Amino acid sequence: MVAQQHNLDVIANNLANVNTTSFKEQRAEFQDLMYQTFKVGGASAGGTAVQPNSIQIGAGSQFSSDSSNFDPGPLQATGNPLDVAIAGSGFLSVLRPDGSTAYTRDGSLKTDASGLLVSSDGYPLQPEITIPQGATALSISNTGVVSAIRPGDSSPTELGRISLTMFSNPAGLLRVGQNLYTKTGASGDPTDADPGEQGSGLVNSGFLEGSNVQVVEEMVKMIMAQRAYEINSKAIQTADDMLAATNSIKR
């Protein structure tokens, strides 16, 4: 029952984030517990007879881990040139207030008071890119080049280039909220690349990546978790009834 409760918690979190930009679905994983062994297969059963199979009783299951599905989510058109969706496996890098680097696929970029490109929470994009005051015709190319027409100029000027970060095992990244991830020993070290190189993916300006949660699939999983919880509860009630019957036997 505890394992199924964890399963339902994961499903509920997926459903809660069905509209969260770039959210990646999680799946609960389980493993069986230790077994009580009464006989081991292959042991002598007397004479030349050999026990053909083991006799074991399991102790149940436990929640072992949750895995992340990093399949791309649907592209959602916004018309905002500062919104970018990554068509590949790369991540954007941002600098957190404590000086650490975090990674995200949420490309809803903004500019702060000084023109610096930042995330929705105000964390500066790495490497830093500053949009001059009064700049017009801002654009971001598929390869991450940020351009704009400076005041007094008639042609676009390159202001910087968005860099993408890749990991050998994205599923090993640690979720820290705010659509951010941090590296762990399981994710491997970050590798920086320009968009379109080394499989990092291209940048689509004017779009955001939606959540890859499939609502219908999560609803089916929720029903299965509920039924599994109920049947486990029934097993406990049945065992209690059996013990009560045993306890009431009169000699």
CA 190 → CA 69, 90, 172, 174, 203, distances in Å? 19, 10, 12, 13, 19
Q: What is the pLDDT of residues 156-193, one digit of tens each?
A: 999 999 999 999 999 999 999 999 999 999 999 999 99
Looking at the whole model, is its pTM more than 0.95? Answer: no
* Average pLDDT of the chain to the nearest whole number: 92
Q: What is the pLDDT of residues 3-55, one digit of tens each?
A: 999 999 999 999 999 999 999 999 999 999 988 988 887 766 566 677 778 88
74: cis peptide before it, omega within 30°?
no
DSSP run (H or E) holding 240: helix 215-247
User: For helices 2-16 and 215-247, what crossing angle results, to 10°?
Assistant: 160
> DSSP code of 72?
P
- How is the chain split into domains, by residue range? 2-40+57-70+216-246, 75-209
In order, the DSSP letters of 96-115 are -TTS-EEEE---B-EE-TT-
